[in-house]
């Protein structure tokens, strides 16, 4: 297999939503972005390349994360086109595959993800939102992590972090790991996931990160949200289409440039950049 075969080359701009850890609200953030884009007239495609902890329904495994992304689209989509690789055990993919006696190679992950891209390209979407699993260095295959898949897709990262204690360390480590691998970081979203988190800590973490990462925008700081279908106002304030980019691996010289914005009746204002 050639080096180029490890990349998922397509002509759609997009964003890759990753996290500093599991349970930081990646799916909520990704779904909120999708809802916002859809409401703004941007036809969006979504992929959760690997999902674990899925619910068995008859002979099928259903990812609640993928289901939430599909719901955010507001239209019916085949679950397998959004979540092409699913496991029942709530473990890192490499571990879930081993315990379930399934072979999971990085090549197969890339190929299945590419097939999902083909579906969305055929649907003529304007933009893609990809959601990772766990944190950026979560193992997904032997010797490979989510970061390797992010490199293969080569979309800018939206780093999702909790707003509570420990956020500074985990976010700085994630951003450092991303930049060392040549990944682009479109920005950071701080999400309130712990109802008992220290309010002072939540308030100050964004300020500290902005100072420590001067070249990276704190795009949104989301308060605690009970209704997951409600798009928080900080998400609405960001021009997500403007943050998206195409893969840099392409035979098209113009690939790094965004196509003309899809028509919309609504003006979207940038926030935190």
Residues catalogued as catalytic? 48
Cβ 189 vs Cβ 232: under 8 Å: no
Give dist(CA 195, CA 64) in Å, integer: 22
List all residues 6 or more positions away from 176 whose beta carbon is below 8 Å from its beta carbon. Answer: none
Give dist(CA 51, CA 66) in Å, integer: 8
Give dist(CA 206, CA 216) in Å, integer: 12
Give dist(CA 114, CA 84) in Å, integer: 10
Count CB neighbours of 220 within 10 A: 25
Give dist(CA 62, CA 81) in Å, integer: 12
Give dist(CA 106, CA 138) in Å, integer: 13
Cβ 60 vs Cβ 51: under 8 Å: no
């Amino acid at each position: 297999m050639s080096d180029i075969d490890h990349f998922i080359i397509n002509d759609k701009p997009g964003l890759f939503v990753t996290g500093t850890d599991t349970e930081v609200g990646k799916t909520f953030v990704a779904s909120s972005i999708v809802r916002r884009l859809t409401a703004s007239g941007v036809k969006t495609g979504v992929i959760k390349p690997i999902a674990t902890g899925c619910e068995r329904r008859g002979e099928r495994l259903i990812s609640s994360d993928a289901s939430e992304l599909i719901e955010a689209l507001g239209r019916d989509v085949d679950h397998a086109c959004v979540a092409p690789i699913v496991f029942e055990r709530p473990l890192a993919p490499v571990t879930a595959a081993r315990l379930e006696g399934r072979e999971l190679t990085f090549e197969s992950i890339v190929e299945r993800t590419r097939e999902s891209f083909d579906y969305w390209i055929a649907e003529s979407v304007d933009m893609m939102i990809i959601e990772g699993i766990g944190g950026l260095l979560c193992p997904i295959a032997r010797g490979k992590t989510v970061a390797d898949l992010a490199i293969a897709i080569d979309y800018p990262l939206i780093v999702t972090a909790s707003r509570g204690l420990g956020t500074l360390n985990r976010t700085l480590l994630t951003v450092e790991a991303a930049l060392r691998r040549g990944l682009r970081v479109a920005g950071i979203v701080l999400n309130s996931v712990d109802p008992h988190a220290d309010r002072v800590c939540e308030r100050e973490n964004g300020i500290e990160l902005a100072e420590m990462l001067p070249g990276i925008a704190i795009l949104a700081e989301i308060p605690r949200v009970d209704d997951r279908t409600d798009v928080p106002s900080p998400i609405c304030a960001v021009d997500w289409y403007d943050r998206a980019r195409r893969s840099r691996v392409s035979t098209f010289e113009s690939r790094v440039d965004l196509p003309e914005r899809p028509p919309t009746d609504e003006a979207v204002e940038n926030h935190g950049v």
